[in-house]
A = this chain, B = another copy of it.
Amino acid sequence: MPRPVTIRTVAERAGCSIATVSRVLNGSARASAQVEARVRAAVAELGFRPSEIGRSLKTLRARTIGVVIPSLTNPVFAGSVAGIEAEARGRGHTPLLTATDYEPEREREIVSALVAQSVAGLVLTVADPDANATLDLLDAEAIPYVLVYNEPTQAERAAVTVDNGAASRALTEAFLAAGHRRVLFIAGRFSTSDRSRLRHQGYLAAMGVAGLSPEPVLELDYLADAAAHRAALEGLLAGPARPTGIICSNDLLALSVIAALREMGLCVPGDVSVAGFDGIAIGRLVSPALATVDQPTRRMGERAVERLFALIEGQGSRTVEHLPFELRTGGTLAPAPSLSELSLSEPEAVPAPARGKRPAQTASVSRPSASRKAL
């Protein structure tokens, strides 16, 4: 077993001190051309690679960033992590990845572990970005962090997200414009997702403006299987007054609901229109294409890291930044079936609300960047 190659080995080989080796490798001070050449030769011959641990011990900061997400199994999080990873790597940092599996109490221990790793900062998606002991801990320790997908409304916290309320209103209005009057909202667990809550509020607001009474919300676990979803849906979709439209608070839930509806013999979108939320790539491949609100998933991850490094360098602001979303209608969102008994004519095409960016978007969005297709 050969002794490991350290900076001392290199110094010995190059005939200089370890300080000089360090200076040459970091460019922190100039060395004579002669010495520098000898050091570089020694480094190459020995295959020396400076230990990040040694460096970190002096700096008291590792060149890593902590990443905390609920689950990798949802492509929407995988997309943001891809952006985080690429952007961090471009800055010489490596992400430390952890998943909470939607258990809020796990957030705390995970973040503790990441703090112990002396991460330079964190990017996280938490259950509740307002009342959150974990984030308070980070604030207390003055460790910079940026939220993704979360939309804190009270605390001053850096976040990158879309305007979930506006997006949900726009999506609901698209249903109304297509002639739907009874629109059901199916939400992921409110307790583990402020997105779900905000999207439901947007639905309520749009229904209210239209003078329609919202249906009682159905709270489902998107990780459960289609059979469970079918069981939950069966009562609601029996009878003549059943909804003609369903908005799901995320795409996976929507796909599962569609599968359940079809098993029940209902046609999507012939009998029931369904839309999701998030814009996962696979939604574009199914047929008919999944109606949804498209988020710049990867870009959100990248942007979070950009802002994180601004915070690390003392430049950043602790504000909520909204990136533009895009409404994707058609496909599983079709005009409501006409009530043949009451009226033979198709419902009039109500002019749809503005598609794409809502005026409510903040102007602070950095680049409109038609981001690379994730898939």
Spell out A's residues near B (CB within 8 Å): 4, 49-54, 56-57, 60, 62, 64, 67, 71-73, 75, 78-79, 81-82, 85-86, 89, 94-99, 101, 110, 112-118, 223, 225-226, 252, 255-256, 258-259, 262, 269-270, 281-282, 284-289, 326-331, 333-335, 355-357, 361-362, 364-365, 367, 369-375
Contacts and interface: CB of A to CB of B under 8 A. Distances in A.
A252 B375 contact: yes
Contacts of A327: 374
Nearest to A280: B282
Given A96-B96, A288-B365, 20 more contacts: A4-B60, A49-B116, A53-B117, A54-B57, A64-B117, A71-B82, A75-B78, A86-B99, A94-B114, A94-B117, A252-B282, A255-B282, A258-B285, A259-B286, A262-B287, A326-B373, A329-B369, A335-B369, A355-B374, A356-B375
Given A52-B118, A85-B98, A286 B331 contact: no
Query: 3 tightest A-B contacts by CB?
Result: A356-B374, A355-B374, A330-B369
Nearest to A332: B364
Nearest to A225: B373
Contact of A364 (B81, B256, B287): B287
A326 B356 contact: no
Contacts of A117: 52-53, 64, 94
Contacts of A86: 99, 101
B374 A288 contact: no
27 contacts: A4-B60, A49-B115, A52-B118, A53-B57, A53-B60, A57-B57, A67-B97, A73-B82, A73-B375, A81-B97, A85-B98, A85-B99, A86-B99, A94-B117, A252-B282, A256-B285, A262-B287, A288-B367, A288-B370, A327-B374, A328-B373, A330-B369, A330-B370, A331-B370, A355-B372, A355-B373, A355-B374
Contacts of A56: 53
A199 to B, nearest CB: 19
A53 to B, nearest CB: 5
B330 A285 contact: no
B51 A118 contact: yes
Nearest to A355: B374
Contacts of A287: 258-259, 262, 361-362, 364-365
B85 A369 contact: no
Given A52-B118, A286-B255, A79 B73 contact: yes
Contacts of A81: 72, 97
